Amino acid sequence: MNNFAAISIVVALTATLLSTVQAAGGVVTGPNVEAPDRYVYYPGTEVLAENEVRVIACGTGMPDQRRGQASACFLFEFGNGEKMIFDIGTGSMRNINSLMIPAEYLTKIFISHLHTDHWGDLDALWAGGWTSGRPAPLEVWGPSGQTPEMGTAYALDHFLKAFNWDYQTRAFKITPVPGQITVHEFDYKAVNEIVYDQNGIVVRSIPAIHTGDGPVSFIIEYAGMKLVFGGDSSPNKWFAEHAKGADFAIHEAFATPEFFVKDYGQPAQLAWRACCEFHTSGPAFGKIMSEINPGHAVAYHTMEEAHQELLLTIRSTYDGPLSIAMDMMVWNITKDSVTERMAVSPDRASAVPGPTRQPPPEPGRPDPMSDFIKQGEWGPAFNAQNKMLDEHAKKYNLQDQDWRKQKPWYKPNE
């Protein structure tokens, strides 16, 4: 080995060791020990204390979701085991699924308003969770509108109508109950009234001001803490009053009018209203946070390339604790502290089973497939699976449920 090669190896080893130490978030005392501390969050490796809440940003961007930034979604995990999803914007289910949480624990969804960037991935949770083992219906809380057709109940009723083919086929082949949605619509004008009160968690609603009547923000009370999830809103008096003194306050914050013109291609006349009339800009966000003085403030709904400028504009009016949220940012919150980290999770996480199994298919349910289509099944390819299926039947004692026996093409292996 020449000197140059030896030096290269030493440099490479040093770099590896340094990165190991840094990745661990503390001094690693030996070659085969656990890291003492971690500055990243690995899903599934951390038990919350009873009085702790973990919030994960599963979407922080704009309506035109990007591969690296989904639309609005925040998952709240409570120390008592409850999990709630606040908004489920387009693309956000990919981030939620990367957390490897069994589908049976993801049934409670709170929707701030009915723009797709705040509920556009409900279909992915509804059908994906059904396929991956959720045994129960979803429950959705959301606001009414000025008329019934502008409310959450109407939206969910028509959601199920739009996905009727999906519902009928899955209900027949899997089991129907997980495809149901229980809707809890509440008055969008309610000011700090309780919309949810179970297991020590209280959720209140306050009106928001955003493009039409209906949008709200949520105030969550747990273990003596007040956490606020603000949906889309321009600065409003209800947030200024009722989010006051929150331990943790999430509120939207938009990029500058110039950013929307230059980088986003918006017409100038739209750009300065989008950021600053029907949303909240950086300086306005900062002013709100200075007024409510939260334990920790979180800004979201801005593309990451605008974060530096957003930070500067927020800092012109607010100097308190602050995160500019990115997808997969994680906060652990107690009465005494807020810790910010990033989640490290696999791109290809697969469904994780929980303890509860789904019921079997419903007997007597009408089959959505006609004899015309069934008679098109091509036997040679079906029968080519027989060895694999015979082994499966034997392993799981399914011989008396052998669906092949009703098929005209079935030729058992001798």
Identity of the residue, 171 or 208, whose beta carbon is nearer to Zn ion in the bound complex: 208
Check: CB of residue 232 under 8 Å from CB of residue 301. Answer: yes
Check: CB of residue 106 under 8 Å from CB of residue 79. Answer: no
H or E segment and range at residue 298: strand 297-300
Identity of the residue, 325 or 333, whose beta carbon is nearer to Zn ion in the bound complex: 325
Locate tokens 């058992």: which residue?
A: 412
Residue at 46: amino acid letter: E
Bin 211: left if φ > 0, else alpha if -120 < ψ < 50, else beta.
left
Separation of alpha carbons 377 and 179, rounded Å: 28
Identity of the residue, 22 or 116, whose beta carbon is nearer to Zn ion in the bound complex: 116
Separation of alpha carbons 118 and 230, rounded Å: 11
Nearest distance, CB of residue 320 and Zn ion, angstroms: 24
Sheet architecture: strand order including 73-78: 40-41, 338-343, 329-333, 53-59, 73-78, 83-88, 108-110, 138-143, 181-186
Identity of the residue, 115 or 296, whose beta carbon is nearer to Zn ion in the bound complex: 115
Nearest distance, CB of residue 83 and Zn ion, angstroms: 22
Nearest distance, CB of residue 119 and Zn ion, angstroms: 10
| Pure H helices in 25-91 | none
H or E segment and range at residue 272: helix 268-274
Nearest distance, CB of residue 112 and Zn ion, angstroms: 8
Tokens coding 52: 């702790």
Nearest distance, CB of residue 301 and Zn ion, angstroms: 6
Tokens coding 116: 């797709």
Identity of the residue, 175 or 266, whose beta carbon is nearer to Zn ion in the bound complex: 266
Tokens coding 296: 């920790």
Identity of the residue, 54 or 115, whose beta carbon is nearer to Zn ion in the bound complex: 115
Nearest distance, CB of residue 72 and Zn ion, angstroms: 5
Nearest distance, CB of residue 334 and Zn ion, angstroms: 29
Identity of the residue, 106 or 216, whose beta carbon is nearer to Zn ion in the bound complex: 216
Identity of the residue, 117 or 185, whose beta carbon is nearer to Zn ion in the bound complex: 117
Identity of the residue, 117 or 121, whose beta carbon is nearer to Zn ion in the bound complex: 117
Nearest distance, CB of residue 259 and Zn ion, angstroms: 16
| DSSP-derived pairing of the beta strands 225-229 and 248-252 | parallel
Q: Of 314, 183, 172, which Cα lies nearest the Cα of 252?
A: 314
Total residue length of the chain: 414
Q: How far apart are the first and last CA of the chain?
A: 64
Binding site for Zn ion (CB under 5 A): 115, 117, 232
Identity of the residue, 178 or 231, whose beta carbon is nearer to Zn ion in the bound complex: 231
Separation of alpha carbons 27 and 20, rounded Å: 9
Identity of the residue, 89 or 283, whose beta carbon is nearer to Zn ion in the bound complex: 89
Instruction: For residue 129, give every residue at least 6 positions away whose Cβ sits within 8 Å of its Cβ, in sequence order, or none.
Output: 103, 106, 138, 178
Nearest distance, CB of residue 228 and Zn ion, angstroms: 16
Instruction: Kindly list the distances between the CA atom of residue 274 and the CA atoms of 208, 258, 260, 396, in Å, as whole numbers in the listed order.
Output: 15, 11, 9, 58
Nearest distance, CB of residue 215 and Zn ion, angstroms: 7
| DSSP-derived pairing of the beta strands 181-186 and 138-143 | parallel
Nearest distance, CB of residue 303 and Zn ion, angstroms: 13
Q: Of 344, 410, 343, which Cα lies nearest the Cα of 382?
A: 410
